[in-house]
Amino acid sequence: MKRLIENELIYGRLMSVDQPHLVARYNKALAAFGLPETRLENFRIDMTGFSPEIAEELGDVQYLDPNGVNRRFVILTPEQENLPVVHTQFSNTAGLMHEFFDGNRRAVSAVTIKDALYGEIEEPVDVVSGVEDLLSIEEVRFRVLSAENMLGKATELRGLIDRLKTSKDGWRDDAMLSRMVELARETGDIRQNALVPDKLVFPHRSYWANHFGGVFIFRDERTSTVICDHQAPGFRRSRPWEVSYIDIADHVRIFDYLSGSGRLQLPRASWVEASGFFTLRAEMAVTDLIGRIDPEADFARADRVWLQTWMHRNAARIAEEGIYPFFQEALREVSATGQVKMREVRPERRLMLCRAMPDHADQWLVNRLLARLAPFDFVTRFVFDKQGFYESYDGYSESYRAHVVDVLSTTYLNNKAAFRSRLYGLEGNQDDA
């Protein structure tokens, strides 16, 4: 973990909170959640207000997500919108937070001058006990409060203004006028600054949930498709008339669904050769094999000559596992014919050759699923499935961990947007998928 932190591969790009008034506002939010106030004078937060330092202090990494639903948030500044989300149970938490910031930009900016916003992303369930609970989350509502009660004061002032306008004798009520002046000193002119967020309900579209080993829910116009372990509670029993279920081990049906729904980009020379996607996956397959059968290998020497030497000495093992020669053959076929004949590819390997359709709304979610199904490719897994990457990283040898960190630091972290554009055809600067 220390190596990941030092190289900003976990908890990177967070915002430091070190001003006493911001710490005090954060503590008021913690108290409102029923949590102990922090004694820290300096800590970091992500877009939702999650702090790894406070999580360590409390001994609870779930302190803003106690039941895996109804995620809590703390907003100290509008600048949080540009931060990643580093801990979440749902893949679309960051997207929902972006929608909240975008829909209430003026209110967030106005309130956080003197106050902090906090609350919950409310879902229709309190605990997830089965697939049905996840399917029932079709929209969420942001329940928003403020640490210094700025929202309550603004609402009170709005009511007094309305009363003054409608009452014949309101201007003679000295107590009311004094209260209005008192409130205005704290809130400012609410006719100019909108203090109360008004866009609070957002749709819950396709997403991944970190429950029952990971559940992928894809929503189409009339149906939904659930992809997860077949032993998850409620699998094939919840709403079978409108929900299709696919076991995550059934690569044939996953391929058919993703390609049939336009979510999958099949291997064509037009993108395969320019992206280097097959080459990356072939190299990942070899280094993963080395890490598994020779965990003490000196990866510090792992240049191309060292790698070729190891491959020559272990040619039989590489051929037996088959993934590296599979990608080499796919590269030759693409070069010769411009495509890969997928019907001739073993079903369990078809998805290895594909990436998400770059212009589909579910591109990040599909790539997360594909990364989960190809765990040997730690680069793709880090980009799209960080939770899965961290789980795998815990099982790596120290030598392989050092190699993984070095590869990610010298490739992906150098220019994330350019790397994603070249390898996966994705545009934009989203770092929190």
pLDDT digits (tens, 9 = 90+) for 130-189: 999 999 999 999 988 887 776 666 666 666 666 666 666 667 777 777 776 776 776 665
Q: Is residue 49 assigned to a domain?
A: yes
Q: Is residue 383 assigned to a domain?
A: yes
Average pLDDT over the chain reads: 90
Q: Is residue 214 assigned to a domain?
A: no
Counted domains in the chain: 2
Q: Are residues 266 and 321 in the same domain?
A: yes
Quick one: average pLDDT of 196-202?
78
Q: Is residue 433 assigned to a domain?
A: no
CA of residue 220 relative to chain centroid, distance: 21
Q: Are residues 35 and 100 in the same domain?
A: yes
Q: Are residues 199 and 256 in the same domain?
A: no
Q: Which residue range is the domain that position 370 belongs to?
A: 250-424
Quick one: average pLDDT of 354-365?
96
Q: Are residues 123 and 23 in the same domain?
A: yes
Q: Are residues 6 and 101 in the same domain?
A: yes
Quick one: average pLDDT of 411-427?
92
Share of the chain above pLDDT 90, in %: 71
Q: Is the pLDDT of residue 432 over 50?
A: no
Q: Is the pLDDT of residue 1 over 90?
A: no
Q: Are residues 291 and 361 in the same domain?
A: yes
Quick one: average pLDDT of 12-36?
95
Q: Is the pLDDT of residue 295 over 90?
A: no
Q: Is residue 272 assigned to a domain?
A: yes
Q: What are the C-alpha distances in Å from 121 to residues 18, 78, 124, 202, 415?
A: 26, 18, 10, 10, 32
Let me know the angle formed at the C-alpha of 295 by 320 and 327, rounded to the nearest 5 degrees.
Answer: 35
- The candidate with the shortest Cα–Cα distance to 249, out of 260, 235, 268, 259, is 235
Structure confidence at residue 365 (pLDDT): 97
**pLDDT class of 99 with cuts at 50, 70, 90:** very high
Q: Is the pLDDT of residue 191 over 60?
A: no
Q: Where does 4-67 show beta strands of DSSP type E?
A: 15-17, 43-45
Ramachandran angles phi, psi of 29, nearest 5°: -65, -45
Q: Are residues 114 and 255 in the same domain?
A: no
Q: Are residues 199 and 255 in the same domain?
A: no
Q: Is residue 209 assigned to a domain?
A: no
Q: Is residue 157 assigned to a domain?
A: no
Highest mean pLDDT among 195-204, 292-301, 331-340, 410-419: 331-340
Structure confidence at residue 80 (pLDDT): 96
Q: Is residue 319 assigned to a domain?
A: yes
Structure confidence at residue 107 (pLDDT): 85
Q: Are residues 11 and 117 in the same domain?
A: yes
Which of 203, 221, 236 delimits the end of a domain? Answer: 203
Structure confidence at residue 151 (pLDDT): 67
Q: Which of 292-296, 324-328, 372-376, 403-407 has the lowest mean pLDDT?
A: 292-296
In angstroms, rounded to a whole number, what is the distance separating the alpha carbons of residues 366 and 311? Answer: 32
Q: Which residue has the higher pLDDT, 194 or 299?
A: 299
In angstroms, rounded to a whole number, what is the distance separating the alpha carbons of residues 341 and 319? Answer: 21
Q: Are residues 199 and 276 in the same domain?
A: no
In angstroms, rounded to a whole number, what is the distance separating the alpha carbons of residues 144 and 151? Answer: 9
Quick one: average pLDDT of 326-347?
95
Q: Which residue has the higher pLDDT, 38 or 204?
A: 38
Q: Are residues 273 and 137 in the same domain?
A: no
Q: Are residues 255 and 343 in the same domain?
A: yes
In angstroms, rounded to a whole number, what is the distance separating the alpha carbons of residues 262 and 264? Answer: 6
